[in-house]
Structure 1
Amino acid sequence: MPDKIRHLNLSHVVLPLDNPVSDAKVLTGRQKPLTETVLLFVEVTTEDGFEGMGFSYSKRAGGRAQYAHLQEIADVALGQDPSDIDRIYQSLLWAGASVGRSGVATQAIAALDVALWDLKARRANLPLAKLIGAHRDSCQVYNTSGGFLQASVEEIKEKATASIEAGIGGIKIKVGQPNWQTDLDRVGEIREHLGDTPFMVDANQQWDRARAKRMCRELEAFDLVWIEEPLDAWDAVGHADLSHTFDTPIATGEMLTSVPEHMALLDAGYRGFVQPDAPRIGGITPFLRFSTLASQAGLALAPHYAMEIHLHLAATYPTEPWVEHFEWLNPLFNERIDIRDGRMWLPDRPGLGFTLSDTMRALTKESAEIGVR
């Protein structure tokens, strides 16, 4: 007899940052500084006693909405075979069809989808990447958390040095300030400090097409791995144009919340790095669907945030990817990722390879039990 999902535990978690951070959206007045990450955790248990854990997240707004939406529809998964992940995914989409198939709707489902993949790999006693099929046991890793705009150039230099000494292979900083010359001055100073260390910049969607072309032209001189989100995230045509115009690769995709939104980049002829985010695109199931298409199109991959999930998914990509290092979620898990020699190494533990910490439990604001424990 096939196994069945018996019980789900949903947790609404608020994780404060040690210090507020600002990117270009703050300096242009579009958002407030980021002070916390809000997460939706799902723990799933089957009748045969197998367990899995997954999560999604939100920054600044939407975390409560994710929790509320999944709480409303999650009972649809009860009694279903946990192996039939896409079938369960589709049933959850239909259960919440009136609010669409992107944004909060799919980000809520993502937490359960990730938990089911974690369960499937744990049951097979394999790391998730090995269950899917890995191309490598480690991935290139770069750090972003030390390069936000509230930090001075000297602070960024210190954090970059510490990251490199800790085994991280690349450094990304934020750009997109109202004064474009300030951006160029900061990039120049950091490039000189880094030497030949791989270096990326991220404008967080704050340039229009004319400014983006000027900035990309100026930034060509700094031998960057990529220029990230120079335009509005949904401007697929503009990003495609930049990707054909300049030698420095363009990167985008982290803000998109469905496979069709990502496919607009491919349809426009985009040829840069794609940065799908599994919790944002709707989970591992749609991530793998899009990554297969991206690979066929010959695109490079650099998943956004959530390294605990994306290390596994990047390891399954046919061409060499980058994984983004953010230490922000470390307090929520008992385990740590092995980082050395410029690379992030797959854990040998089953599933994602993480268990939830006492800190995660203490930061839980509300929880819901669905089904029979």
Structure 2
Amino acid sequence: MSVSANSDAVSYAQVAHSRTAAETGDRIEWVKVSLAFLPLATPVSDAKVLTGRQKPLTEVAIIFAEIHTRDGFEGIGFSYSKRAGGQGIYAHAKEIADNLLGEDPNDIDKIYTKLLWAGASVGRSGMAVQAISPFDTALWDLKAKRAKLPLAKLLGAHRDSVQCYNTSGGFLHTPLDQVIKNVAISRESGIGGIKIKVGQPDTAEDLKRLTAVRKELGDDFPLMVDANQQWDRETAIRIGRKMEVFDLVWIEEPLDAYDVEGHAALATALDTPIATGEMLTSFREHEQLILGNASDFVQPDAPRVGGISPFLKIMDLAAKHGRKLAPHFAMEIHLHLAAAYPIEPWLEHFEWLNPLFNEQLELRDGRMWLSDRHGLGFTLSEQARKWTVKQCEFGKRP
């Protein structure tokens, strides 16, 4: 045998005995699902309450997923529900959780598909994907920790901070004088924009509150309003025209969340940009919104659409069509995703979830700043454990 032939034989032997990716990949060994209820200090009301469609919000249900792997990595994710739904999301998450065991945590899309099919008979939107969201988010958290990077850096950040606005100080249950005080507190804390709730039965009251807040802020400070789906098309166009003088960043959810045609007509008719999308619960629903030219700002919510994986697909489609991004709620997750969006986005600031985590986000100069902590950068607090009412475990505990 020639030297060359012998060398080839050795090379083939080495390839034959090399280990494959399947043999060397990490594996999920343990999964924990928990349901906690976070109480709110004051019952919260928006237009849905004042128009009789809902009761005041008194607590937020949080569904946590904790994932550990054979190689010692861990990830944490969460979903949530306001008012009804938390128990149902937890129940479905519990039913499908064991499908993660034995999977390579790096194969996030594969796992997502597996979880979808595990609950296929209840659909691919709404509660079905909201139950997948904690697992998907935990896997992305884990993946970034494995890479020793903040999630935004793993995705590829366009910026290290995101302009943010506050919503929690402008709810309709709050008297106007307190709203004005909240506005001042928010500005002093480093907030870059203010959003107040509108959509009351008496639209004159909306305009009164809006006039007072604009006066307090001055002409140039970013100001948004949110009607929480309470107007019909005729009311929205009439009030929208009256609000043009306030130079708003956007009017949010003026119509029913699924009225794509109505939102598109409103976006065309008004100078003020339209924002919507927070109530949609799948990529396909956001696809209809984006392709239907129904808003200037898209407002996906990662826990509601099924996690980070579908959120990234929404981001990609929105960017291709030149839409601006303003994710809803859950700033602990959305900071990373907004930082990775190519067009300058807005981030919604809610302090409600702060007690759940040991770490807090930095607010400065009108922007929320990425920390250097790996993954999402959060660990569960003892308070979160105390608020937990149900939990279940699968696999071998580390």
Q: Does 1:361 align with 2:397?
A: no
Identify the residue that residue 324 of structure 1 maps to in structure 2.
Answer: 348
Q: How far, CA to CA, are the matches of 1:172 and 1:158 in structure 2?
A: 14
Q: 249, 268, 271: which is aligned to 1:247?
A: 271
Distance apart, 1:276 and its partner CA: 0.2
2:10: which partner in 1?
none
Gaps of 5+ in 1: none
Displacement of 1:137: 0.1
Q: 1:309 aligns with which of 333, 336, 342?
A: 333
The answer to whether the Cα contact below 8 Å between 1:56 and 1:108 also exists between their aligned partners in 2 is yes
In structure 2, how many angstroms separate the alpha carbons of the residues matched to 1:29 and 1:172?
22
**Could you say which residue in structure 1 is the equivalent of 2:154?**
131
CA–CA separation in structure 2 for the residues paired with 1:229 and 1:63: 23
Q: Could you tell me which of 53, 64, 72 is aligned with 1:49?
A: 72
Matched residue, 2:360:
336
1:269, CA displacement in angstroms?
Answer: 2.1
Equivalence map 1:191-202=2 (5 Å): 191-195=214-218, 196-202=220-226
State yes or no: 1:101 paired with 2:124. yes
Q: Which position in structure 1 is the counterpart of 2:19?
A: none
Residues 83-130 of structure 1: CA deviation (Å, up to 9, x unaligned): 000100000000000000000000010010000000000111100000
The amino acid across from 2:239 in the alignment is M
Identity of aligned residues (%): 65
Give the total of aligned pairs: 373
Asked if residue 27 in structure 1 is aligned to residue 50 in structure 2, the reply is: yes
SS at match of 2:199: coil
Q: Distance in 2 between matches of 1:262 and 1:356?
A: 31
Distance 2:100 2:193 in 1: 41
User: How does 1:203-282 map onto structure 2 within 5 Å?
Assistant: 203-282=227-306
Deviations 1:149-199 (A, max 9, x none): 011111011011001100011000000000011111110111001112110
Match of 1:120 in 2: 143
Q: Which amino acid aligns with 1:263?
A: E
1:173 and 2:173 aligned? no
Please state whether the residue corresponding to 1:142 is helix, strand or coil.
strand
Counting only pairs closer than 5 Å after superposition, residues 139-178 of structure 1 correspond to structure 2 as 139-178=162-201
Q: Is the 8 A contact 2:275 2:295 kept in 1?
A: no
Whole-Å separation in 1 of the counterparts to 2:193 and 2:307: 26
| Cα drift, residue 271 of structure 1 | 4.2
**Which residues in structure 2 correspond to 1:75-86 (within 5 Å)?**
75-86=98-109
- The AA in structure 2 aligned to 1:171 is I
Counterpart CA distance in 2 for 1:103 and 1:23 is 22
* Aligned equivalents of 1:214, 1:281: Cα separation in 2: 32
CA contact (8 A) 2:96 2:115 kept: yes
CA distance in 2 between partners of 1:266 and 1:338 (Å): 32
Distance in 1 between residues matched to 2:294 and 2:226, nearest whole Å:
18
The C-alpha deviation readout for 1:303-323, integer Å capped at 9, x for no partner, is 000000000000000010000
Shift of 1:347: 1.1
Find the aligned partners of 1:238 and 1:297 in 2 and give their Cα distance.
19
Q: Alignment partner of 1:111: what SS?
A: helix
SS at 2:79's partner residue? strand
Q: TM-score, normalised by structure 2?
A: 0.93
- Confirm or deny that 1:72 pairs with 2:95: yes
Aligned to 2:34: 11
Quote the Cα distance in structure 2 between the aligned partners of 1:215 and 1:255: 22
Letter in 1 for 2:241: R
CA shift, 1:352, in A, is: 0.3
Does the CA contact (< 8 Å) of 1:244 and 1:271 recur in 2? no
Whether the 8 Å contact between 2:162 and 2:347 is mirrored in structure 1 is yes
Tell me how large the CA RMSD over aligned residues is. Answer: 0.6
What letter corresponds to residue 285 of structure 1 in structure 2?
S
Q: What's the offset of the Cα at 1:144?
A: 0.2
Secondary structure of residue in 1 paired with 2:169: coil
- Secondary structure, aligned partner of 1:94: helix
Structure 2: 5+ residue stretches without partners: 1-23
- Matched residue, 2:313: 289
2 CA distance for matches of 1:243 and 1:372? 53
Out of 59, 72, 77, the position equivalent to 1:36 is: 59
The CA deviation at 1:267 is 2.5
- AA in 1 matched with 2:324: A
Query: Cα deviation per residue 1:271-320 (whole Å; 9 max; x = unaligned)?
Result: 41000000001100000001100000000000000000000000000010
Match of 1:88 in 2: 111
- The answer as to whether partners of 2:226 and 2:252 remain within 8 angstroms in 1 is yes
Q: CA–CA distance in 2 between the matches of 1:86 and 1:264?
A: 22
- Secondary structure at 1:146's aligned position in 2? helix
Aligned to 1:188: 211
Q: Is the 8 Å Cα contact of residues 30 and 393 (structure 2) preserved in structure 1?
A: yes
Q: Which amino acid aligns with 2:369?
A: W
Q: Where in structure 1 do 4 or more consecutive aligned residues deviate above 6 Å?
A: none
CA distance in 2, matches of 1:371, 1:175: 48
User: Which is higher, the Rg of structure 1 or of structure 2?
Assistant: 2
